Amino acid sequence: MRHFLRDDDLAPAEQAEVLRRAAALKAAPYDDRCLEGPRMVSIIFDKPTLRTQVSFMAAVSGLGGEPMVVDGRLAGIGERESVADVARILGPQSAAVVWRTFAQSDLELMARYAGVPVVNALTDDFHPCQVLADLQTVAESFDDLAGLTFAYLGDGANNMAQSYLLGCATAGMHVRIGTPATHRPSAAVLARAQEVAAGTGGSVLVTDDPVAAVTGADVVATDTWVSMGMEDQADLRHGDGGPFEPFRVDASLFGHAAGHAVFLHCLPAYRGFEVTEEVIDGPRSRVWDEAENRTHAQKALLSWLVEQASS
């Protein structure tokens, strides 16, 4: 059974195939009806959501299926019922299980017991569906993903940074993470990204110099400095003189990127903190395409996973 728990669960050729399907489905949204029946897809949220809920519901409906949104707090997953029991209840009734939660290890448990493909809709460690949508968005601006330089600025230890490392390395890109020395990605994820990049012709760099990270980049991305579940650290992370201030993507920092560079942000965005209005609302920003592409990319992913499960 194939799952999508982290970005490197797709090999380079598989990622390329999913992105090819995503572009095709954007052009012809009703060409794939693989969930016709309708088959149910369980979509569980333990953390807040807007784009992920809407895009997964649209993706499942668009494929002819029935999205079933489950409030994880109401269900009490891991407290009222064990993850394994939830997996054994939802799995047999679903074509796939999609879960946004905290611990990556819980998602792995779900995958072990569900008996159907399990998809990571964000954990503390990874947000791989977002990166698929981001790669689709970048591919709309450039001919080829391989060889592009992708710079991410901000919290280098969060789910977006770690997913960009693995997902962009899989696509053969040169990934740069600009982050304070105190917030580097995990050593294991970094090593894995280097290993993947060695096979795809990409490369990986982590630096505490924001200008070095951005200089000449084709894509510049950032993310909130306060991820969901870290609200108690908001004052420390957003306050004056906080660790991420030098990594704010303003016009001056963005000006070091290539002239044709595009800007990405997974949203929600906190204007004036990780990015300024002139960049996120400016002509190089692709954030609204990025949000729309969640639906197309997830449709393509679900279609591919369901096909794998039945073959």
Residues interacting with ligand NVA, by CB under 6 A?
Answer: 122, 127, 158-160, 223-224, 227-228, 266
Residue 234 or residue 309: which is nearer to ligand NVA going by CB?
Answer: 234
- 136 vs 158 by CB, closer to ligand NVA: 158
Helix (H, G, I), strand (E, B) or coil at 62: helix
The two three-digit tokens of residue 219, written as one number: 């894509």
**At what angle are helices 287-310 and 128-139 packed, to 10 degrees?**
120
Residue of 100, 174, 183, 265 with catalytic role: 100
Residue 34 is among the residues annotated as catalytic for this protein = no
Nearest approach, Cβ of residue 160 and ligand NVA (Å): 5
Answer yes or no: 294 catalytic: yes
Name the residue with the smallest CB distance to ligand NVA.
227
Distance CA 214, CA 278 (A): 17
Nearer to ligand NVA (CB atom), residue 89 or residue 230: 230
Residues 6+ apart with CB under 8 A from 135: 15, 19, 145, 167, 168, 171, 297
Of 2, 79, 66, give the one whose Cα is nearest residue 37: 66
Do the Cβ atoms of 123 and 103 come closer than 8 Å? yes
Answer positive or negative: Cα dihedral of 238, 240, 242, 244. positive
Minimum Å gap between C-beta 228 and ligand NVA is: 4
Q: Which is nearer to ligand NVA, 122 or 262 (CB)?
A: 122
Active site residue 130: yes
Which of 15, 130, 162, 298 does the annotation list as catalytic?
130
- 100 catalytic per annotation: yes
Out of 106, 183, 266, 289, pick the active-site residue: 266
Task: List 178's β-bridge partners, or say none.
Answer: 153, 207
* Alpha helices (H) along the chain: 12-27, 51-62, 72-75, 83-90, 104-114, 128-139, 159-170, 187-200, 210-214, 234-238, 251-254, 277-280, 287-310
Give catalytic status of residue 223 as yes or no.
yes
Among 176, 265, 294, 296, the one annotated catalytic: 294
Lookup result for tokens 């998602």:
107
**Nearer residue to ligand NVA within complex by CB, 32 or 46:** 46
- Of 32, 125, 155, 223, the active-site residue reads 223
85 is catalytic: no
Active site residues: 100, 127, 130, 223, 266, 294
